[in-house]
Structure 1
Amino acid sequence: MTAAMERPEFAPTVVSMRDHGAEQVSERLLKSAAQLSRNAMTEIDWSLPMDPTKYGCSPEWSSLYGTDYWDELTEEQRIALTRHEFASIMNIGIWFEMILQELVLVDQYNGDYHSAEFQFALVEIADECRHSLMFAKASEKMVGTSYHPHPRIAKAGKYFKTIARNEIAYAGILVAEEILDVFQRGCMRDERVLPFIRTVNEIHVLEESRHMKYAREQVRDSMREAGPARRGYSALVIAAGAYLIVSSLVQPKAYADAGLNVHRAMAARSTNTHYHAMIRSGCVHLMEFLDEVGLLTKPALRFYRRAHMI
């Protein structure tokens, strides 16, 4: 396994919280947030010029790395490609973080204001607002172009918001954050990557580790009362959502903006076994968790295989 595929943890936030219950988990996460939260708007000097030799992400995480097309590119083209790819990923992250915020708000709409669970939900929403602003600022600086999901995918996201409750909402959150998390962990300590992008990755990984712990506990609590029919339905909706997210990360426009032939780039990505293996390796822990809580059914597996997540 390459270094880019490893998942190093931030020691201060790695605490075993399994089966402690959402309230106790939230209490610990509130303390962690108070001690470790960061702000990219003040921590990063956005006025510094970019080193033209630095990538937007580790080359190994490019969707074209390992293909004949990648081999034909000049170093300058590879750098431009990774910058536009990661800008696309950050912009799609903004899109889903906006969905996430709405799901959490709806879930806690009539919650117990004095509970740790309710209060951490507000912390999570505040974190996501800062993350979206951070991603917007970073992508603007790096490429000056914004990316959005295909209109059909955006419409599907609106529909997802109307049906996503309980385990569907929190497992959907977990799937999206896990996918972005493993990508960023693979790039955040790579000195070939732009320094401010490494800091963006570090901040997001640190704070999303809390969000993912919270989401896992919410899913566990919700699944304790789920019967076979509900479990099957939820598993299928979550898997379909995961497929849409993974397939949307790098938009075709990113290839065009990097000066590549879009059709050739999309064809190369679709058959890129290296890229598929990177995604699959990064989703191992996610698949184990979904299996643990009964959300890795046979129909759901079809979507995960199509997305190369398993």
Structure 2
Amino acid sequence: MTDLTELSTSRADQGIDEVSARLVASSTRLSRNAMTEIDWAAPMDPSHYGCSPEWSTLYGTDYWNELTEQQRVTLTRHEFASIMNIGIWFEMLLQELVLRDQYLGDYHRPEFQFALTEIADECRHSIMFAKASEKMVGTTYRPSPAIGRVGRIFQHTARGAVSYAGILVAEEILDVFQRGCMRDDRVLPFIRTVNEIHVLEESRHMKYAREQVRESMRDMRPTTRRFCALYTSVGAMEIVRNLVRPQAYADAGLDVGRAIDERRGNRHFHAMVRSNCTHLMEFLDEVGLLTPAARKNYRRVHMI
């Protein structure tokens, strides 16, 4: 865990090349391969959850209390499959943003080399999530068509600090769920391994994104900073709202309307998200991206 702690430590005095060189070296030492590390053909214990029950969007609600133990297990499997699938969606968006940013970069610099390392990592993560979803529930959960179109707009309009702030926020949101479940013996062993791999490798990506945001924010005009803060918060809001798709509740055998209503009022789930987003909010505040307008959006999805 020492490497994870070191990677997540904020050091504003480091330049992007120094950080990138360290991250490339870390990637060489610590990267893992889920395709060989996980036995994808091994049977699943029917008693194991897809995520820690406390991280279910319905945990603590009246609906949760009415479910049988097997229904709870099934629900968490579909919920976490949805989270992984939405993770694939926004990781594909982020890969395009990084590629475009580095298209005519300085190829000899560590910054460029780690950018390609990150893209390679994200490709492997998406395959890993796809395999895990296939094994656990055998279906795909996509964002709504409207959000899919918004994602395409973001792909083509995000630049500089907006790109990397969006990358950071998206990765932090997924990291919150995975850290909460990766050491829980009640969770399927192969899902715990998926979480461990992703948390380890995303810690590098988040460090890189933080340094890119810091560099992009230097000497930024106040109006541009406010726009960047608002744009990033809107993206975060839509990611959180779309993590568990309504179809996941239907596939778990639940009443979709009731499940969504109870999720909206679930104070336990809101508190879990809020308490685990503290460090992200502190960083956004530090770099000037937690404006009053942005705060309102983060509050809407209980990130603050």
Shared fold per TM-score greater than 0.5: yes
Equivalent position of 1:194 in the other structure: 188
Secondary structure in 2 aligned to 1:54? Answer: coil
Please give the alpha-carbon distance, in whole angstroms, between the structure 2 residues aligned to 1:11 and 1:88: 31
Native 8 Å contact 1:235 1:297 kept in 2: yes
Is residue 2:197 matched to residue 1:203?
yes
Q: Deviations over 1:1-29 (max 9, x none)?
A: xxxxxxxxx31233244320110000000
Structure 1 residues not aligned, in runs of 5+? 1-9
Distance of 1:234 and 1:123 partners within structure 2: 26
Q: Which residue of 2 aligns with 1:117?
A: 111
Asked whether the equivalents of residues 235 and 295 of structure 1 are also in contact (C-alpha less than 8 Å), the reply is yes
Match of 1:247 in 2: 241
- Residue among 4, 7, 15 paired with 1:13: 4
CA RMSD of aligned residues (A): 0.7
Alignment of 1:43-82 (within 5 A): 43-82=37-76
- 1:92-131 correspondence to structure 2 within 5 Å: 92-131=86-125
> How far apart are 1:302 and its partner, in Å?
1.1
- What do the CA deviations read for 1:134-169 (whole angstroms, capped 9, x no partner)? 000000000001000000001000011111111100
Aligned to 1:87: 81
Find the counterpart in structure 2 of residue 6 from structure 1: none
**Structure 1-normalised TM-score?**
0.96
Q: Secondary structure at the match of 2:257?
A: helix
- Within 5 A, what are the aligned runs for 1:148-297? 148-297=142-291
| Separation in 1, partners of 2:254, 2:108 | 54
Distance in 2 (alpha carbons) for counterparts of 1:174 and 1:188: 20
**Displacement over 4 Å in runs of 4+:** none
Which amino acid in structure 1 is aligned with residue 261 of structure 2?
A
Kindly provide the CA deviation profile for residues 20-43 of structure 1, in whole angstroms up to 9, marking residues without a partner as x.
011000000000000000010010
Alignment match, 1:7: none
Separation (CA, whole Å) in 1 of partners of 2:219 and 2:47: 53
Length, aligned pairs only: 301
Deviation at 1:194, TM superposition (A): 0.1
Distance in 2, Cα, partners of 1:133 & 1:225: 39
Q: Match for 1:293: what amino acid?
A: V
- Kindly provide the amino acid, as one letter, of the partner of residue 161 in structure 1: Q
Gaps in structure 2 of 5+ consecutive residues: none
Which moves more between the two structures, 10-19 or 135-144? Answer: 10-19
> Is this contact kept in 2: 1:13–1:32, CA < 8 A?
no
In the TM superposition, residue 225 of structure 1 has moved relative to its aligned partner by 2.3
Q: In structure 2, how many angstroms separate the alpha carbons of the residues matched to 1:206 and 1:248?
A: 24
Give the drift of 1:234: 0.4
Give percent identity, aligned residues only: 70
Question: Counterparts of 1:178 and 1:33 in 2: how far apart (Å)?
Answer: 19
1:282 shift after superposition: 1.0
Tell me the distance in 1 between the aligned counterparts of 2:154 and 2:107.
Answer: 27
| Paired letter, 1:308 | H
Name the SS of the counterpart of 2:253 in structure 1.
coil
Structure 2 Cα separation of the partners of residues 13 and 259 of structure 1 = 38
The CA distance in 2 between the partners of 1:131 and 1:305, in whole Å, is 29
SS of 1:14 mapped into structure 2: helix
Alpha-carbon displacement from aligned partner over 1:152-190 (angstroms, at most 9, x marks no partner): 001000011111111100010110110110110110000
Partner of 1:4: none
Displacement, 1:250? 0.1
Instruction: Check whether the contact 1:182–1:282 (CA below 8 A) recurs between aligned residues.
Output: yes
Q: Which amino acid aligns with 1:69?
A: Y
Instruction: Kindly state the Cα deviation for residue 205 of structure 1 after the two structures are TM-superposed.
Output: 0.1
The separation in 1 between residues aligned to 2:110 and 2:282, in whole angstroms, is 27
Return the letter of the residue paired with 1:73.
L
